[in-house]
A and B are shown apart, each in its own frame.
Chain A
Amino acid sequence: MNTSKLIIVAVGGQGNISAARVLGEAALASHLPVRMSEFHGMAQRGGVVESMVLFGEGKSYCIADGDADVLLGFEPSETLRAAKKCSADTIVITNTTPVPPYTVALGKAHYPDMDQALALMAGRVKKLVAFDATSLALRAGSALALNMVMLGALAKSGAVPLSPDLLQQTIEQKTRKQQVEVNLRAFRMGLEAV
């Protein structure tokens, strides 16, 4: 099979690494080769977290600019920051609720008009899906379930070779017991939202 290359971008604390882990475990369970790499430069201290997940044939652990098949953004300005990873064939799925960096919160930097930025991006990639995943996570029961909403939307897009059922099973088996119920609800909301 061909390789399918996914980049997940987020802010520290949004559950990027655990979302990637669910995808990795699901791939392992279905005997699909998978390679992942993570970059979390001081994420606990407000930085950016980036995961790369590569399914199928190949040996690299990372994805070059213009070579992502899917960009999954947990925060809109992080989706924008990662735009160079996309080509005209990329599917972009992004949350629309901003988490302004500290510099913006204090008026020292400008948070761009994301509607406009995403509209520009949408015209250049294969497909761009933008939705308010944070609200859905809160409705599912916890802001921490944002990553599961995003996985739901990813599953729905069909952009990665993992079925919604398989991901649901993996969430049941591999995420924290106390969180499973909320996680599954969040996953289904993401699945239905897009």
Chain B
Amino acid sequence: MHPLLVDRPGDQMLMLGNEAIARGALEAGVAFAAAYPGTPSSEIALQFFQCSMETDLYFEYSANEKVALEVAAGAAMCGLKTMVTMKHVGVNVAADALMTLAYTGIVGSMVLVVADDPFMFSSQNEQDSRYYGKLSCLPILEPSTVAEAKEMTIHAFELSAELRLPVILRTTTRINHSSGEVILGPLQQRETKGVFEKNPFAYVCIPAVSRNLHPKLLDKYNRANDRANRSPWNRIEGEGKWGIVCNGVSYGYVSDALRELGAADAFRILRVGFSHPFPDRMTQAFLEGCEKVLVVEEGEPYMEEAVRNSAQKAGLALRVEGKGEGLFSRLYELNPALVKQVIGDFFTLPFQAYQPIETDDLPEAPPRPPNLCAGCPHRATFVAVREVFGDLAIYPTDIGCYTLGVLPPLNMGDFLIAMGAGIGTAGGFARATGRKVVAFIGDSTFFHSGLSPLANAIHNNHDFTLVVLDNGTTAMTGHQPHPGVDLSHLNLARNTVSIEAAVKGLGVEQVITVNPFAYRKTLEAIQSLALHRGVSVLIARAPCPLHVRTLPSYRKKRAFYVNKEKCRNHRHCVTKVACPAFYLQDQEVRIDANRCEGCAFCVQFCPENAIVPVKMEEK
């Protein structure tokens, strides 16, 4: 049985924040969940995927975040308890549907988990999702601990059902990827079948309907604001004259700092867990009798502005600070040392800063950048495209493992902003420069947001080659399926959508599919597509070596080694292919047999044919 399905209320378990959220949803009776994976949210979806195979919970990996939200919205309109999970930038994709779903509201319940990534551990930006609350009028809850993540998830379902609105559970990486003790509650029975009551004049958002719905949404917003002002997730600790307002992980840093400063009595803390609508009246009460206030929050000055607003409404002229010179930055994560230091400075408290050892004169640790894996088919495709176009072409790229192609010696990647934008921007680059443009997109990203820009490029007669790097999985986030993946080995009732058929169906005439490990054939295919004006597509198909190991059909291939007699140290293998299975020993190239996947790509670059398979052990 899946550990999250254990029904022993009162038991303690060590859980990852993302596991705690999934458990909270199960305890709330979630019946329908959908997601597009994205760090740091991915493990929530993984729990649902696994649990759905053992229970009647419905879960799907949807093609993108907007579709995930929409699929769940349909179910929620029929009264089901639903959850949708995504990373912060995924909300940008889902936002179109979300903004108006707020107008219709929902019948059952919906919790939208949004995982922000301050410091951009694995993201392209560090946007602060709390502003989506303001934009949509939807309530936002923010846990400060792993245990709270579970409890808040349950509460989010209750709040959603009560207000008949989607509720956003906003986390940051340090909650998603932290672990702590969680006490299990009872699992609630799932209601997996719903009923849809037609009501077009409340659900079909034509202008006349929406003009009625917007005031209703504002009404719900006011009720949510009432809840926030009375919510136990917003609480005041202490009665001192110095105020600190904090949320999420910053609450932990503040609590620990005040304990270490030995000054807890001088302070009062407002911990905001129900952060939108902002608890304005509770804040006004908090500010009464405060001398000055420091707002401790990662990201944008969302609470700082709200607190200043509350102070102004209450007619208080006290100093409220948060972001600024000598205070906190809008950049990156906070940390315990920084929080302690800023509190010490702002309230002029004597404090002992941490004293790291001197490290300036220590030798530098060698950089350890992530790299495309040994046996990665993307490397093979990049090598071939570079061989044909070198630096003459412009290479818009996209989001996935293959973004690592930007690193030397491959140097494949000139522009990257968002999922699907590689194809969208390619037309602009080609029009504006008249240069050859080769855009890259992965298979999962292709289904996520590649289809519309491709249709656009065909219609508008743009001129570029699109390379679809099809490794049969969403590799970057941990090998989740997507519409093009064959899941027959899992006995799941899922169909496999063909990328070739999709591309041809959109009207691309020049489409070639290759196995990128076959270097010559891949080169020939690229050269023939290069002659064509208009949109051409190369589908480079070979499985992800990390993923293929998990499939029942997997057979380990024989590794290769360098025959010392034959090797003349040209090093084409190293300079062109740059597979991490290579290493140098006494200035000669060697292959680490434990890392070699046996893809045989490098073999094709050795002028001496010195790279040969390891002989099978004699028995």
Q: Would you give the shortest CB distance from B169 to chain A, in whole angstroms?
A: 18
User: Can you name the residue of chain B whose Cβ is closest to the Cβ of A102?
Assistant: B580
Which residue in chain B gives the minimum CB-CB distance to A77? B365
A68 vs chain B, min Cβ distance (A): 9
Are A37 and B357 touching (Cβ within 8 A)?
no
- Using CB atoms, name the residue of chain A closest to B592: A105
Q: A59 contacts which chain B residues (CB < 8 A)?
A: 144-145, 251-252, 255-256
- Shortest CB distance A142–B (Å): 13
B601 interfacial by beta-carbon distance below 8 Å: no
Contact of B336 among A24, A28, A64 (CB under 8 A): A64
Interchain CA distance A163-B175 in the complex, whole Å: 28
Which chain B residues in 138-162 approach chain A with CB under 8 Å?
A: 144-146
Asked if A60 and B362 make an inter-chain contact with CB atoms under 8 angstroms apart, the answer reads no
B177 at the interface (CB under 8 A from A): yes
Given contacts A44-B546, A106-B574, A106-B582, contact A34 B366 (CB under 8 A): no
Does A45 interact with chain B (Cβ within 8 Å)?
yes
The reply on A125 being an interface residue by CB < 8 A is: yes
> What is the CA–CA distance of A156 and B212 in the complex, to the nearest angstrom?
70
Bound Cα distance A59, B250 (Å): 10
A88 touches B357 (CB 8 A): yes
Q: What is the chain B residue whose CB lies nearest that of A32?
A: B181
16 contacts between A and B (CB under 8 A): A21-B179, A24-B14, A35-B178, A38-B179, A48-B368, A59-B145, A61-B178, A64-B354, A77-B365, A87-B354, A90-B357, A104-B366, A105-B583, A106-B578, A113-B363, A121-B362
Does B122 count as interface, using CB distance less than 8 angstroms? yes
- Chain B residues in 8 Å Cβ range of A87: 354-357
Which chain B positions have C-beta within 8 A of A194?
none
Chain B residue contacts of A117, Cβ below 8 A: 362-363
Using Cβ atoms and an 8 Å threshold, which residues of chain B touch A35?
145-146, 178-180
Does A42 lie at the interface of the complex (its beta carbon under 8 Å from any beta carbon of B)?
yes
B129 to chain A, nearest CB (A): 20
With A38-B177, A88-B355 as contacts: A63 and B362 at CB distance below 8 Å: no
Assess whether B179 is in contact with A66, with CB atoms less than 8 Å apart.
no
Q: Give the contacts of A116-155 with B (CB-CB under 8 A).
A: 116-117, 120-121, 124-125
B372 at the interface (CB under 8 A from A): yes
Task: Please state if A67 and B178 are interface contacts (CB–CB under 8 Å).
Answer: no
Question: In the assembled complex, how far is the CB of residue B576 from the closest CB belonging to chain A, in whole angstroms?
Answer: 12
User: Contact: A45 with B584, CB < 8 Å?
Assistant: no
Q: Nearest Cβ distance between residue B407 and chain A, in whole angstroms? A: 10
| Most chain A CB atoms below 10 A, which of B14, B146, B178, B366 | B366
Q: What residues on A are CB-neighbors of B372 within 8 Å?
A: 45
Interface assignment of A85: CB less than 8 Å from any CB of chain B: yes
Q: How far is the CA of A45 from the CA of B338 in the complex (A)?
A: 31
Determine if B359 and A106 form an interchain contact, defined as CB atoms under 8 angstroms apart: no
**In residues 334-391 of chain B, which contact A (Cβ within 8 Å)?**
335-338, 340, 353-359, 361-373
Answer whether residue A171 sits at the interface, using C-beta atoms and an 8 A cutoff. no
- CB of A167 within 8 Å of the partner chain: no
B401 at the interface (CB under 8 A from A): yes
A60 touches B256 (CB 8 A): yes
Q: Decide: B362 and A120 in contact? CB cutoff 8 A.
A: yes
Please indicate the chain B residues that have their CB under 8 angstroms from the CB of A21 in the complex: 14, 179
B581 → chain A, closest Cβ, in Å? Answer: 9
Closest 10 CB pairs of A and B: A64-B337, A66-B356, A66-B354, A112-B363, A105-B583, A59-B252, A81-B365, A42-B370, A124-B357, A37-B178
B583 in contact with A78 (CB, 8 Å): no
Chain A residues packing against B (C-beta within 8 Å): 11, 21, 24-25, 28, 33-39, 41-42, 44-48, 57-67, 77-78, 80-81, 83-88, 90, 100-107, 109-113, 116-117, 120-121, 124-125
Chain A hits for B476, CB < 8 A = 42
Contact B365 A67, beta carbon cutoff 8 Å? no
Task: Find the residue from B340, B362, B368, B401 having the highest chain A CB count within 10 A.
Answer: B368
* Cβ of B189 under 8 Å from chain A: no
Closest beta carbon of chain B to A100's beta carbon, Å: 7
CA–CA, A103 to B358, complex, Å?
Answer: 27
Question: What residues of B have a CB within 8 angstroms of the CB of A45 in the complex?
Answer: 370-373, 401, 404
Bound complex: CA of A65 vs CA of B353, how far in Å?
A: 10
Docked complex Cα distance between A11 and B401 (Å): 19
- Report A-chain residues with C-beta under 8 Å of the C-beta of B356: 65-66, 84-87
Q: Which residues of B are interface residues toward A (Cβ below 8 A)?
A: 12-14, 121-122, 144-146, 174-175, 177-181, 249, 251-253, 255-256, 259, 335-338, 340, 353-359, 361-373, 401, 404, 476, 546, 574, 578, 580, 582-584, 587
Q: With A60-B253, A61-B178 as known contacts, state yes or no: A78 contacts B365, CB within 8 Å.
A: yes
> Are B365 and A65 in contact (CB-based, < 8 A)?
no
Q: Which residues of B contact A47 (CB under 8 A)?
A: 368-370
Q: Are B179 and A37 in contact (CB under 8 A)?
A: yes
In the complex, A121→B358 CA distance in Å?
Answer: 9
Given contacts A34-B14, A37-B174, 18 further A-B contacts (CB under 8 A): A28-B13, A28-B181, A36-B179, A44-B373, A44-B546, A45-B372, A46-B368, A46-B371, A57-B259, A58-B255, A61-B175, A64-B335, A66-B337, A67-B337, A83-B362, A100-B583, A102-B371, A106-B584
Quick check: B373 and A111 within 8 Å, CB to CB?
no
Q: Would A103 and B177 count as touching, CB distance under 8 A?
A: no
Q: B371 contacts A61, CB within 8 Å?
A: no
Cα distance A163–B484 in the bound complex, in angstroms? 50
For B13, the chain A residues whose CB sits under 8 A away are 28
Tell me the bound Cα distance from A85 to B356 in angstroms. Answer: 6
**What are the residues of chain B within 8 A of A104 when measuring CB–CB?**
366
Give bound CA distance, A102 to B579, whole Å.
Answer: 9
CA distance in complex: A144, B400 (Å):
28
Q: How far is the CB of B547 from chain A (nearest CB, A)?
A: 11
Name which of A11, A62, A117, A120 has the most chain B CB atoms within 10 A of its CB: A62
With A60-B336, A66-B337, A78-B365 already in contact, the answer to whether A34 and B180 are too (CB < 8 A) is: yes
Contacts of A80 on B, CB cut-off 8 Å? 362-363, 365
* CB-nearest residue of chain B to A36: B179
- Bound: A46/B407 CA distance, A: 14
Kindly provide the distance from the CB of B578 to the nearest chain A CB, expressed in whole angstroms. Answer: 8
Most chain A beta-carbon neighbours within 10 Å: one of B180, B356, B363: B356
The residue in chain B whose Cβ has the minimal distance to the Cβ of A81 is B365
* 8 Å CB contact of A36 from B180, B259, B363, B365: B180
B contact residues around A46 at 8 Å (CB): 368-371, 373, 580
User: Among A67, A81, A105, A113, which residue has its beta carbon within 8 angstroms of that of B354?
Assistant: A67
Does A110 lie within 8 Å of B366, measured CB to CB?
yes
B361: chain A residues within 8 A (beta carbon): 120
In the bound complex, what is the Cα–Cα distance between A90 and B145 (angstroms)?
Answer: 27
- Which residues of chain B are near A81, meaning CB under 8 Å? 365
